[in-house]
Amino acid sequence: MSRNKIVIENVSKHFTVNNGNQRLYALDTINLTINEGEFFCLLGPSGCGKSTLLNILAGFLKPTEGRVLIDGEEVTAPNPKYVTIFQEYTLFPWRTVLGNVKFGLEIGGMAKQQQNEIASSFIKLVQLQGFEDRHPFELSGGMKQRVAIARTLAVDPEIIFMDEPFGSLDAITRMEMEEEITRIWQEENKTIVFVTHDIEEAIYLADRIAIMSHQPGRIDNVIRVNLGRPKDRTSDDFLSIRDKIYDEFKLKTRKPFVYQI
């Protein structure tokens, strides 16, 4: 039996909007447990509260009600033990690739020599050796996200939160990055909570998928993806899980179609 890593207890989040005249129920009584070492996906349409929930897990936002426990301790503030990777890369444009990857180590006060060694090893892990001295603007979107991943891994976090990290990449690069993050997750034994609105991405990556719906944001169902890795996107099992999720989102046509010409 695997250990509970993140426990979400009755978390609700309201925002006041329209100059405080209106309340927006972004999240409504979320209960969820994520296991240590698990690859967990939050899947749902835009605006259903995925980012809000991730921000609460990462300590950037406080829930209106309920609480989040990581290793049994309540989350109150951001912590380098759990690092978020955003869709927007958030690299430091004035720093080189090496400088970016070293950032967290510098903050942690590690010796220079050791910083360089660790940063180099993670640059290698994300297959960017040779690009150490480049600046972010010289890199493609996929490469930038590799830098962000290396920068995150360098501080050896226990949990990595990812908020649609591959959302602005083209389809091919996106699949490459999905394979890449799977490989890294298998090598590094991290717990990953990954937000996406892409059904196939969720199935490809996740051990389990929480299906969310919006207004108010709720978790409707948690689906276990029992597929051996590496997953085959074209296998029948893969497609049947996809069908099941389509059903969840009621995206499948229920009635037989009648074409009229």
Partner 1 sequence: MMEEARSRRTMLGRFSPFFVFLLLLAIWQIIAASGLFLPLLFPSPVAVVRATVELWEKGILVRDITASLSRVFSGFILAAVFAIPLGLLLGWYARLKHAFDPLVQILRPISPIAWIPLAILWFGIGNRPAIFIIFITSLFPILLASISAVKNIDQLIIKSAVNFGAGGGDILRKIVIPASFPYVMVGLRIALGIAWVIIVAAEMVGMRSGLGFMILDARNFLRTDMVVAGMIIIGIIGLILDRIMLFFEKSIRIRWGYRDLKGER
Ligand X SMILES: Nc1ncnc2c1ncn2[C@@H]1O[C@H](COP(=O)(O)OP(=O)(O)O)[C@@H](O)[C@H]1O
C-alpha of 91 from chain center: 17
Omega within 30 of 0 (cis) for the link into 216 = yes
Span between the terminal Cα atoms of the chain, in Å: 57
Is 92 a binding residue for partner 1 by CB under 8 A? The answer is: yes
Is 195 a binding residue for partner 1 by CB under 8 A? The answer is: no
Q: For ligand X, which residue of 6, 30, 39, 51 counts as binding (CB under 6 A)?
A: 51
Is 15 a binding residue for partner 1 by CB under 8 A? The answer is: no
Q: To 5 degrees, how large is the angle CA 189–CA 223–CA 70? A: 45
Pick 52 or 100: Cβ nearer ligand X: 52
Rounded CA-CA distance 168/186 in Å is 24
Is 51 a binding residue for Mg ion by CB under 5 A? The answer is: yes
209: its two tokens: 């998928």
Q: For ligand X, which residue of 5, 38, 52, 63 counts as binding (CB under 6 A)?
A: 52
The structure tokens 């990290």 sit at: 165
Stretch that binds partner 1, among 38-46, 74-82, 166-174, 175-183 (CB under 8 A): 74-82
Is 93 a binding residue for partner 1 by CB under 8 A? The answer is: yes
Which of these, 30, 33, 24, lies nearest to 12 by C-alpha position?
30
Pick 51 or 191: Cβ nearer Mg ion: 51
The structure tokens 């051996």 sit at: 228
Beta carbons within 8 Å of 14's beta carbon, 6+ residues apart: 23, 24, 25, 26, 64
Q: What does 86 bind: ligand X, Mg ion, partner 1, none (CB cut-off 5 to 8 Å by kind)?
A: partner 1
Pick 56 or 126: Cβ nearer ligand X: 56
Pick 51 or 191: Cβ nearer ligand X: 51
Is 196 a binding residue for Mg ion by CB under 5 A? The answer is: no
Which of these, 134, 141, 127, 125, lies nearest to 97 by C-alpha position?
134
Q: For ligand X, which residue of 47, 78, 80, 130 counts as binding (CB under 6 A)?
A: 47
Q: By the criterion CB under 6 A, which residues form the site for ligand X?
A: 15, 17, 24, 26, 44, 46-52
Q: By the criterion CB under 5 A, which residues form the site for Mg ion?
A: 51
